[in-house]
Amino acid sequence: MSWLPFAADTATQVHLTSQTRIVAAVIAIFFMLLILDLIRRDRLQERYSVIWFVAGLGMLAGAAFPGLLEFLADLMGVRDTNVALFSIVLLLLLGLALNFSVLMSRQAAQITRLAQERAIEKARQQALEERTGNGAPNERERTNS
Amino acid sequence: MRTLVFIPAWNEEASLAAVIADVREQLPLAEILVVDDGSTDATSERGREQGVLVATLPFNQGLGAALQTGYLYALREGYDFCAHLDADGQHPPAEVRRLLAEVEADRADLVIGSRYRDPDAPAESDDYRPTFSRRIGTGVFRFFLTLATRQRFTDTTSGMRAANRRVMALFSEHYSPDFAEIESLQLAVREGLRVEEVPVRMLERAGGSSFLTPLRSAFFIFKGVVVLLVGQFRPRRQAEADR
């Protein structure tokens, strides 16, 4: 395949060093511990933690089985496994950020509706007070004095 | 037959009382609701002093959310018709009466007051003179909205409208907080509602200048076009319900 100038040449492929793998594994473990701790202290809701936990496990798997990453790098046509790793992580982060934007939009809509419901309820209360007769203004006067 | 006139207001304590008095005079049978969009001044107090209903949003949510509050209130409280106008005194309530007459006669579901479709234009064109950037924006929106709805619209951003219960039901569920005026027109037409424009006379803003600088205008226009484009691909809701 050497006649294809842009094809990945197996001879010059760059692999992860064992040092990188150890660092990655340590970071992954600390990351997962941090998430567990956040859940434990009620700082992170379980339903939002799953995705982070999966990310941590993925990191650990990548460090433990470097063949996995090399396979993915080959699939992407990237010669340097480190570059493949960066690209995958970047894509995952992009997905997460989008996921958060969707969540945020939903919450913004919910907050708006909540504000509207409260405003309407107040106006309705005001209308009701005015409708229940002329006694209401007098009563208000009495409580003021 | 009950009619609600609602006035979205954000920090409009200076002009609100006059507008309310004017609406009362022109539409004595209508009930008035001020939707205070989280004002930091005495807008709500001015409204209550005038003896009208006030719906106060706890924080500023934008014009779209304020208008939707009005539609939601009208729908829930069983009003037959509703109309809204700006709180800054640009919209003469006498013209609102003409819009309401159209929906009351069941000639349309939603009626827009257009400042550009003036039959007596030569005589009254001095009343409203748009700035250059506004003219560009108006032209762009007009073009794209007409393209999207296949119906001719001249004043796409008009905040003076009258509506019946079909519109209340639609807008209280779906009303874009970001680009309320244009998207709501597109939505109403897509849902098969009869939307009509009526020429009205509008006045120059009483005080203060428009918030639009050239750069902001460009962004505003860009956003509007994107919103319209996306709106074309939204699923139709009424059609689904009918099936």
Mean pLDDT of chain A: 81
Residue B54 corresponds to which amino acid?
V
Report chain A's terminal Cα–Cα distance, integer Å: 97
* Domain range for A44: 12-144
Best mutation target among A104, A105, A107, A112 (most B Cβ atoms within 10 Å) is A112
Q: What is the ipTM of this complex?
A: 0.83
**Nearest residue of B to residue A116 by CA position?**
B69
DSSP E strands, B116-234 = 161-164, 195-199
What's the fold here for domain B3-242?
A: Spore Coat Polysaccharide Biosynthesis Protein SpsA; Chain A (3.90.550)
The model's pLDDT over B61-101, given as tens digits with 9 standing for 90+, comes to 989 999 999 999 999 999 999 999 999 988 999 999 999 99
What confidence category does residue A10 fall into, taking pLDDT thresholds of 50, 70 and 90?
Answer: low
Q: Which residues of A touch B177 (CB under 8 A)?
A: 108-109, 112
pLDDT for residue A138: 43
Higher-pLDDT residue of A72 and B132 is A72
pLDDT for residue A68: 86
A134 to chain B, closest Cα gap in Å? 13
B162 Cβ contact list (under 8 Å, min separation 6): B81, B82, B83, B96, B99, B100, B102, B103, B110, B111
A1 within some domain: no
Interface residues on B facing A, Cβ-Cβ cutoff 8 A: 33, 35-36, 48, 53-59, 61, 65, 68-69, 72-73, 76-77, 177
What is the percent of chain B with per-residue pLDDT over 70, rounded to a whole number?
Answer: 87
Mean pLDDT of chain B: 86
What confidence category does residue B129 fall into, taking pLDDT thresholds of 50, 70 and 90?
Answer: low
A6 within some domain: no
A36 within some domain: yes
Which 8-state DSSP code applies to residue A104? Answer: H
Whole-model pTM over 0.90: no
Residue A30 corresponds to which amino acid?
F
What confidence category does residue B205 fall into, taking pLDDT thresholds of 50, 70 and 90?
Answer: low
Which 8-state DSSP code applies to residue B150? Answer: S
The answer to whether the CB atoms of A122 and B33 lie below 8 A apart is no
d(CA B81, CA B35): 17
CA distances from A87 to A18, A90, B66 (A): 20, 5, 44
The model's pLDDT over A72-127, given as tens digits with 9 standing for 90+, comes to 888 888 888 888 888 888 998 898 899 899 999 999 999 999 999 999 999 999 99
The answer to whether the CB atoms of B59 and A122 lie below 8 A apart is no
Kindly tell me if the per-residue pLDDT of A139 is higher than 80: no
Token pair of A27 as six digits: 């970071």
A18 within some domain: yes
A5 within some domain: no
Of B73, B207, B20, which is closest to residue A124 (Cα–Cα)?
B73
pLDDT for residue B209: 52
Radius of gyration of chain B (CA): 17
Lowest mean pLDDT among A125-139, B136-150, B182-196: A125-139
pLDDT for residue B128: 58
The answer to whether the CB atoms of B65 and A119 lie below 8 A apart is no
What is the percent of chain B with per-residue pLDDT over 90, rounded to a whole number?
Answer: 56
What confidence category does residue B243 fall into, taking pLDDT thresholds of 50, 70 and 90?
Answer: very low
Higher-pLDDT residue of B189 and A48 is B189
Q: Which residues of B touch A123 (CB under 8 A)?
A: 33, 53-55, 73
pLDDT for residue B4: 96
Q: Which residues of B touch A124 (CB under 8 A)?
A: 73, 76-77
Number of domains in chain A: 1
A22 within some domain: yes
What confidence category does residue B112 fall into, taking pLDDT thresholds of 50, 70 and 90?
Answer: very high
Question: Could you tell me the maximum CA-CA distance found in chain B, to the nearest angstrom?
Answer: 50
Domain ranges (residues) in chain B:
3-242
What confidence category does residue A135 fall into, taking pLDDT thresholds of 50, 70 and 90?
Answer: very low
What confidence category does residue B197 fall into, taking pLDDT thresholds of 50, 70 and 90?
Answer: very high
A2 within some domain: no
Best mutation target among B7, B53, B174 (most A Cβ atoms within 10 Å) is B53
- Among A108, A112, A119, whose Cβ lies nearest the Cβ of B55? A119
CB B181 within 8 A of CB B89: no
The answer to whether the CB atoms of A119 and B68 lie below 8 A apart is no
- Among B54, B57, B68, whose Cβ lies nearest the Cβ of A126? B54
Q: Which residues pair with residue B5 across a beta bridge?
A: B32, B83
- Among B54, B61, B177, whose Cβ lies nearest the Cβ of A123? B54
Kindly tell me if the per-residue pLDDT of A61 is higher than 50: yes
Q: Across residues A129-135, what is the average pLDDT?
A: 72
- Among B54, B68, B77, whose Cβ lies nearest the Cβ of A116? B68
Kindly tell me if the per-residue pLDDT of B124 is higher than 50: no
